[in-house]
């Protein structure tokens, strides 16, 4: 079946512009996660959605970052007034459910964001 998909695959934007990154999780997966991976750094957790519960936003680095998940499926990560330090690969992952730690997360191919 289809895996996690993300769009766009690459995004180049000017400093100060807003960007929207999209994630389509695996059908039937109730948990959805956003991470970012900067050069030479590990994956950094950003935000987590589980079903209709309020999202866990504890990893968002600033109030310029926000995310929503519509209809329990597609998610959009929005970065407002982008800065050069926002340049990274943004990875989305989904899992069957998120209330148990044992379910593996399936990752999408990522969106490479470059802020010039």
The residue (of 18 and 99) whose beta carbon lies closer to other proteins is 99
Nearer to other proteins, 21 or 91 (CB): 91
Give 10 or 83: the residue with its C-beta nearer to other proteins: 10
Instruction: Tell which positions 33-52 bind other proteins, by CB under 8 A.
Output: 33, 35, 40-45, 48, 50
DSSP assignment of 25-89? PPTT--EEEEEEE-TTS-EEEEEEEETTSPPB-TT--STTEEEEESTTS-EEEEE-S--GGG-EE
25 near other proteins (CB under 8 A): no
List strands edge to edge, sheet with 5-7: 5-7, 19-24, 75-79, 65-69
> Site for other proteins (CB under 8 A): which residue of 11, 13, 56, 72?
56
Question: Phi and psi (nearest 5°) for 46?
Answer: -110, -60
Residue count, binding to other proteins (CB under 8 A): 30
Contacting residues toward other proteins, per CB under 8 A:
4, 31, 33, 35, 40-45, 48, 50, 56, 58-59, 91, 95, 98-110
């Amino acid at each position: 079946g289809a895996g996690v998909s993300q769009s766009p695959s690459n995004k180049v934007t000017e400093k100060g512009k807003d960007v929207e990154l999209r994630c389509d999780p695996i059908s039937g997966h109730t948990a959805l996660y956003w991470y970012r991976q900067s050069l030479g750094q590990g994956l950094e957790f950003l935000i987590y959605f589980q079903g209709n519960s309020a999202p866990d936003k504890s990893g968002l680095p600033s109030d310029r970052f926000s995310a929503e998940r519509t209809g329990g499926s597609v998610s959009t990560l929005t970065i407002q007034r982008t800065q050069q330090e926002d340049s990274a690969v943004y990875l989305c992952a989904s899992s069957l459910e998120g209330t148990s730690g044992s379910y593996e997360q399936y990752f999408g191919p990522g969106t490479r964001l470059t802020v010039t």
